[in-house]
């Protein structure tokens, strides 16, 4: 089952054993965390190459180190592929991950103390959208919108009213626990009205956009920020994209504003992932992710689960477990013991604390990468249902039974990059 790592095993057997154990865990479990995925063997290989050895501060043709004959081409390939895939004029593939990418946006378009606006973290937003505990909420004045309590949906009248009152320099749309389509034109109209830069943080849905399974933020958003490792199925990294008019400001903000040398091995793996995402098979993948999520949502509703906003349009489902009388954390930990990996999550207007919230967040990118289809979603919903019930009763035997059933299905669906 585990891949051989001969050099690692010889040099550091202790660490090699841990890598092997993680491979086994990823192979045997049903991974439902919506921000995770399995990269292809090609992406995995690219991210472990000698490109690791090279320093390349600056941009292609304008580096502060020599010996960039190859690296410039690698980065050029990644940039060209990002531009072609997303239909943008400019792409920067150097941000180390999503949070630094978003911080670069602040550096490009705002001054410390300026007002910025984003969705509140407990409503489904992201820390870096101006939430108080983040540097973005400490160094900037974050004002936050949410979703309506009755519908679980964004109320654009409320967003407009807040934006016109507060006049933010930057408005973020997107987040980490949003099960519904993001209305980019509606956000763009509000940003225009109040003179803000609109940033679409599409980290969760970049792969769906690339595969035509979610509307594109182009041409509505001024800046598009994304990680590369979620639905896009690339390595852990990020990209910033924009029209040409913002290219210089964003590039300067990433380097030298915020970062030093780019991680060239990651840039290479991003290039591979972008190539894979431009193939017809990736369109099928993206559509399947959404079809699976919808089927899973239906199956969960049939079993009496309370889903925020009543369902999903994308890859993600947010479940409020209050009616099941099992706290999110208790359920998440029990499901983990049952071989089903989810994360506990706040739900909008959650009366509980973020470290012990009412909900769990699940998604279908990983299971779709393993070839599971809509025909499997009733079984997945059933395991979740039985797992949550077992969590409430502290029934370890039931959890162990589920774990065995999950492992059996998983063994019939080898994961990309792990199949051996
Ligand atoms: N950690 C990411 C997620 O899980 O959605 C957000 O940063």
**Distance from residue 162's CA to the centre of ligand 1 (Å):** 26
Give the E-state strand segments of 70-124 in sequence order.
Answer: 90-92, 115-119
Tell me which of 126, 229, 231 to substitute to probe ligand 1's pocket, judged by most ligand atoms within 8 Å of the beta carbon.
Answer: 126
Mutate to test the pocket of ligand 1, among 37, 204, 342, 343 (most ligand atoms within 8 A of CB): 204
Q: At what angle do helices 396-411 and 377-393 cross, to 10 degrees?
A: 160
| pLDDT score recorded for residue 418 | 84
Question: Does the beta carbon of 227 lie inside 6 Å of ligand 1?
Answer: no
176 pocket-lining for ligand 1 (C-beta < 6 Å): yes
3-state SS string over 217-259? CCCCCCEEEEECCCCCCCCCCEEEEECHHHHHHHHHHHHHHHC
Q: Could you read off the pLDDT of 136-185 as tens digits, one per residue? A: 999 999 999 999 999 999 999 999 999 999 999 999 999 999 999 999 99
- Cβ of 35 closer than 6 Å to ligand 1, yes or no, is yes
Query: Closest ligand 1 atom to the C-alpha of 98?
Result: 7
Domains in the chain (CATH in brackets) are: 46-277 (3.40.640.10), 288-411 (3.90.1150.10)
Cβ(134) – ligand 1 distance below 6 Å? no
Site to substitute for ligand 1 among 127, 203, 207, most atoms within 8 A of C-beta: 203
CA 173 to chain centre: 14
What pLDDT is recorded for position 82? Answer: 99
pLDDT tens, the chain, 420 aa long: 445 799 999 999 999 999 999 999 999 999 999 999 999 999 999 999 999 999 999 999 999 999 999 999 999 999 999 999 999 999 999 999 999 999 999 999 999 999 999 999 999 999 999 999 999 999 999 999 999 999 999 999 999 999 999 999 999 999 999 999 999 999 999 999 999 999 999 999 999 999 999 999 999 999 999 999 999 999 999 999 999 999 999 999 999 999 999 999 999 999 999 999 999 999 999 999 999 999 999 999 999 999 999 999 999 999 999 999 999 999 999 999 999 999 999 999 999 999 999 999 999 999 999 999 999 999 999 999 999 999 999 999 999 999 999 999 999 999 999 855
| Per-residue tokens: 139 | 């160094």
Asked if residues 389 and 338 have their Cβ atoms less than 8 Å apart, the reply is no
- Residue 1 confidence (pLDDT): 43
DSSP string across 140-192: SEEEEE---TTTSS--HHHHHHHHHHH--SEEEE--SS--S---HHHHHHHHH
Where in the sequence numbering do the catalytic residues fall? 55, 57, 201, 227, 230, 236
Atom of ligand 1 nearest to the CA of 99: 7
Residue nearest to atom 6 of ligand 1 (CA): 176
pLDDT digits 0-9 by tens, 84-136: 999 999 999 999 999 999 999 999 999 999 999 999 999 999 999 999 999 99
Give the C-alpha distances (Å, rounded to integers) separating 287 from 172, 264, 330, 360, 384: 26, 31, 32, 24, 23
DSSP string across 267-278? HHHHHHHHHHHT
> Is the shortest distance between the CB of 226 and ligand 1 below 6 Å?
no
Q: How far is the CA of 99 from the centre of ligand 1 (A)?
A: 10
Measured by CA distance, the residue closest to atom 4 of ligand 1 is 35
The CA distance from 275 to 84, in Å, is 10
Q: How far does residue 62's CA lie from ligand 1's centre (Å)?
A: 33
Any atom of ligand 1 within 6 Å of the Cβ of 94: no
How remote is the CA of residue 228 from the centroid of ligand 1, in Å?
A: 12
Q: Element (H or E) spanning 345, and its range?
A: strand 343-345
Q: Cα(1)–Cα(371) distance, rounded to whole angstroms?
A: 18
Q: Ligand 1 centre from 110 Cα, in Å?
A: 24
What ligand 1 atom has the least distance to the C-alpha of 343? Answer: 4
Query: Measured from the CB, is residue 102 less than 6 Å from ligand 1?
Result: no
Q: Which of 176, 179, 207, 227 to mutate for ligand 1's pocket (most ligand atoms within 8 Å of CB)?
A: 176
At 419 the pLDDT is 56
- Output the residue whose Cα is nearest ligand 1's atom 5: 176
């Amino acid at each position: 089952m585990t891949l051989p790592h001969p050099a690692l095993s010889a040099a550091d057997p202790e660490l090699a054993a841990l890598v092997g154990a993680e491979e086994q865990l990823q192979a045997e479990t049903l991974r439902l965390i919506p921000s995770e995925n399995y990269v292809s063997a090609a992406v995995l290989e690219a991210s472990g190459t000698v490109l690791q050895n090279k320093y390349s501060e600056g941009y292609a043709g304008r580096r502060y180190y020599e010996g960039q004959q190859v690296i410039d081409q690698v980065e050029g390939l990644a940039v060209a592929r990002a531009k072609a895939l997303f239909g943008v004029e400019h792409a920067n593939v150097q941000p180390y991950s999503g949070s630094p990418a978003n911080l670069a946006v602040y550096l490009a378009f705002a001054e410390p103390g300026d007002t910025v606006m984003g969705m509140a973290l407990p409503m489904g937003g992201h820390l870096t959208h101006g939430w108080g505990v983040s540097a973005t909420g400490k160094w900037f004045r974050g004002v936050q919108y949410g979703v309506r309590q009755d519908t679980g949906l964004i109320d654009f009248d409320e967003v407009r009213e807040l934006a016109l009152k507060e006049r933010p320099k930057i408005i973020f749309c997107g987040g980490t626990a949003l099960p519904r389509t993001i209305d980019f034109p509606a956000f763009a109209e509000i940003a225009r009205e109040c003179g803000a830069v609109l940033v679409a943080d599409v980290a969760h849905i970049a792969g769906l956009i690339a595969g035509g399974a979610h509307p594109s933020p182009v041409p509505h958003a001024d800046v598009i920020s994304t990680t590369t490792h979620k639905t896009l199925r690339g390595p852990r990294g990020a990209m910033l994209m924009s029209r040409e008019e913002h290219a210089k400001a964003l590039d300067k903000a990433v380097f030298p504003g915020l970062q030093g040398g780019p991680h060239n091995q990651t840039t290479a793996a991003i290039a591979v992932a972008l190539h894979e995402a431009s193939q017809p098979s990736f369109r099928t993948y993206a559509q399947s992710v959404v079809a699976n999520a919808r089927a899973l949502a239906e199956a969960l509703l049939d079993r009496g689960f309370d889903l925020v906003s009543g369902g999903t349009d994308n890859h993600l489902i947010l479940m409020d477990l209050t009616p099941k009388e099992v706290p999110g954390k208790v359920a998440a930990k029990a499901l983990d013991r049952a071989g089903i990996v989810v994360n506990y999550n706040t739900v909008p207007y959650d009366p509980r604390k973020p470290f012990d919230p009412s909900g769990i967040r699940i998604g279908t990118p990983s299971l779709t990468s393993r070839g599971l289809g809509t025909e499997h979603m009733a079984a997945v919903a059933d395991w979740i249902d039985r797992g949550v019930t077992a969590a409430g009763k502290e029934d370890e035997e039931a959890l162990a039974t589920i774990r065995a059933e999950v492992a059996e299905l998983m063994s019939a669906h080898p994961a990309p990059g792990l199949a051996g």
